[in-house]
Structure 1
Amino acid sequence: MLPDNFMVHLVDDEEVVRKSLAFMLTMAGFTVRQHQSATDFLAAAPTIQQACLVTDLRMPDLDGVELLRQLRRLQVRIPAIVVTGHGDVPLAVEAMKAGARDFIEKPFEEESLIEAINRIASELEAEVEIENTDAIRSRLDRLSGREKEVLSGVVSGLPNKTIAYDLNISPRTVEVHRASVMSKMAAGSLPELVRMALAAGFLAQ
């Protein structure tokens, strides 16, 4: 069940993409408002409540990261999902440092975006934190030294081959450590792992 007056705000400079997403989300039962630029959204942001922001990362006037930074400066708290192109994980990590709640890589399944928005709606409805920081730190403490090194590379957006080269181990070994980190941290996705690292102070903001 969605909170009263919950609205999804879409920010994308490409009209065709924006309208396509708006139609899909409207059909899924959401109330949607479209914004053709980050500047357009910022003008309306201070009056927005009970909402979720879905923004593209790469835009001509202000990119998604700078949009989130400006929202933080304005002390406007709107949970955000950023949509990023393939290979833009480091930029997505920067967006999460700036306050994004989640990121989705193109191309994505429609259901992935709908699920991400529903998670945010549920959090707003419950008005509770997703994770307890002490619990996250406890999980971090259970990681080995090597796993923490791999975690550092993963949440910084580095590919397995680069992490392997930096640590002088094989890519396959990185994959094994990465799987172990995801399991020990109880993270269901890379965005969730980044959120945990930020919450615990493992990843500098």
Structure 2
Amino acid sequence: MISVIDDEVEVLRGTSSLLRSCGFDVATFTSAKDFLHSPSNGRSACLISDVQMPGMSGIELFAALRARQDPVPVIFITAFAEAPVRQHIEAPVCVLQKPYQAEALIACIERAISVQPET
């Protein structure tokens, strides 16, 4: 399952539709806190998260997951430049600027899922 977290309903709708058309199971959330309190937390193969959201940002979500030693791959989507996002994250992650190309997102997901540690 791919979890998509974004406070923009249109982005959630478009991203989930794209991913479902590619054969992925998708869960959507309008906030990082909603995701953290959901059954999908701990079951997602990959997260796609907006960076700027009310309440908890995508970067804060990433930090919270890593603090719990949750290695789930995270793909960030942002309306801002990539470099400022990367300076807050000490890990190799995919960062896509909005609007992003569907092919770029799918490539990021495929890379993220292919490097998942075995359980």
**Which TM-score band (shorter chain)?**
0.7 to 0.9
> Which residue matches 1:70?
64
Deviations 1:91-131 (A, max 9, x none): 2331x32x46221112211000001001112122xx48xxx
Highest RCO, 1 vs 2 (Cα 8 Å, sep ≥ 6)? 2
Question: What CA distance in whole angstroms lies between the structure 2 residues aligned with 1:61 and 1:100?
Answer: 25
Deviations 1:126-185 (A, max 9, x none): x48xxxxxxxxxxxxxxxxxxxxxxxxxxxxxxxxxxxxxxxxxxxxxxxxxxxxxxxxx
**TM-score of the aligned structures, taking structure 1 as reference length:** 0.53
> Which residue matches 1:119?
111
Q: Does 1:83 align with 2:77?
A: yes
Change (3 A) 1:93 1:122: same
Question: What CA distance in whole angstroms lies between the structure 1 residues aligned with 2:49 and 2:92?
Answer: 10
**TM-score of the aligned structures, taking structure 2 as reference length:** 0.87
Aligned partner of residue 107 in structure 1, secondary structure = coil
Identity fraction in percent: 32
Structure whose alpha-carbon radius of gyration is higher: 1
CA RMSD of aligned residues (A): 2.0
> Which residue matches 1:201?
none
Q: How does 1:50-199 map to 2 (within 5 A)?
A: 51-94=45-88, 96-97=89-90, 99=91, 101-124=93-116, 127=117
User: Number of paired residues?
Assistant: 118
User: Residue 52 of structure 1 contacts residue 78 of structure 1 at CA under 8 Å; is this kept in 2?
Assistant: yes
Higher strand share: 2
Deviations 1:41-85 (A, max 9, x none): 112378523510000000011111111111122222211011122
- Give the gaps of 5 or more residues in structure 2: none
Change (3 A) 1:120 1:47: same
One-letter code aligned to 1:87:
A
Aligned partner of residue 69 in structure 2, secondary structure = coil
Please state how far the C-alpha of 1:29 moved relative to its aligned partner: 1.2
Match 1:27 to one of 2, 21, 24? 21
- Give the gaps of 5 or more residues in structure 1: 1-6, 129-205
User: Residue 73 of structure 2 contacts residue 113 of structure 2 at CA under 8 Å; is this kept in 1?
Assistant: no
